[in-house]
């Protein structure tokens, strides 16, 4: 897979803000100031990154179970239904991300919800809509994996 082309601003933006987004009423203005650009340029760069599917979301990541609850979940989806099922899963606001795997359980995703009742309701909605049982794998032990990386080392 080819490495996507990034502008200098986009590379600086991704390098600088994979961690520690400004927690303020004006986060984009604060980010722009730190990068010495105006807010409109920063927002245009973020829009372009999203439109090219380089980034999918901008927002906080909280330690598990500090706010609400979550689970890793999986479905065993017939191959002909995988794309449509993944597209449906992606529409749910409680889904952080989903991905296909080469396994009997071939669609995996992370669900987050305000509480256990909400989480069970989302799982029930998925099962009713897809006709497939959800395998829920709640976290028993916390591990931290930092998925950030410096882009200036990729070139």
Mean pLDDT, the chain, integer: 86
What confidence score (pLDDT) does residue 1 get? 45
Q: How many CB atoms lie within 10 A of CB 137?
A: 12
Q: State the residue for tokens 């980010």.
A: 31
Q: State how far the Cα of 110 lies from the Cα of 19, in Å rounded to an integer.
A: 20
Please report the pLDDT score of residue 39 as a whole number: 96
Architecture of the 69-137 domain? 2-Layer Sandwich (3.30)
Given this model, what pLDDT does residue 57 score? 75
87-91: average pLDDT: 94
Phi, psi of 132 (to 5 degrees): -120, 145
pLDDT at 111 over 60: yes
Q: What percent of the chain has pLDDT over 70?
A: 83
Q: Is 75 exposed, middle or buried (0-12, 13-18, 19+ CB in 10 A)?
A: buried
- Tokens coding 51: 């439109």
* Statement: residue 5 has pLDDT above 50: yes
pLDDT of residue 29: 96
> Which one is predicted more confidently, 1 or 147?
147
Residue 127, pLDDT above cutoff 90:
yes
Q: Is 154 helix (H, G, I), strand (E, B) or coil?
A: coil
End-to-end C-alpha distance for the chain, whole angstroms? 15
* Residue 59: per-residue pLDDT: 72
The pLDDT, as a whole number, for residue 155 is 45
pLDDT, position 3: 55
* pLDDT tens per residue across span 24-51: 999 999 999 999 999 999 999 999 998 8
The answer to whether the pTM exceeds 0.75 is no
Domain ranges of the chain: 8-51, 69-137
């Amino acid at each position: 897979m080819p490495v996507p082309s990034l502008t200098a601003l986009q590379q600086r933006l991704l390098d600088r803000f994979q961690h520690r987004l400004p927690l303020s009423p004006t986060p984009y203005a604060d980010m722009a100031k730190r990068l010495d650009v105006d807010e409109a340029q920063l927002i245009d760069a973020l829009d372009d990154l999203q439109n090219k599917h380089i980034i999918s979301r901008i927002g906080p990541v909280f330690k598990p179970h500090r706010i609400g609850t979550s689970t890793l979940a999986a479905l065993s989806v017939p191959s002909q239904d995988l794309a449509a099922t993944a597209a449906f899963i992606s529409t749910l606001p409680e889904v952080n991300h989903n991905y296909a795997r080469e396994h009997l359980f071939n669609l995996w995703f992370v669900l987050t919800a305000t509480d256990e009742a909400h989480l069970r309701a989302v799982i029930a909605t998925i099962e009713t809509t897809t006709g497939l049982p959800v395998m829920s794998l709640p976290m028993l032990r916390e591990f931290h994996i930092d998925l950030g990386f410096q882009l200036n080392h990729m070139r």
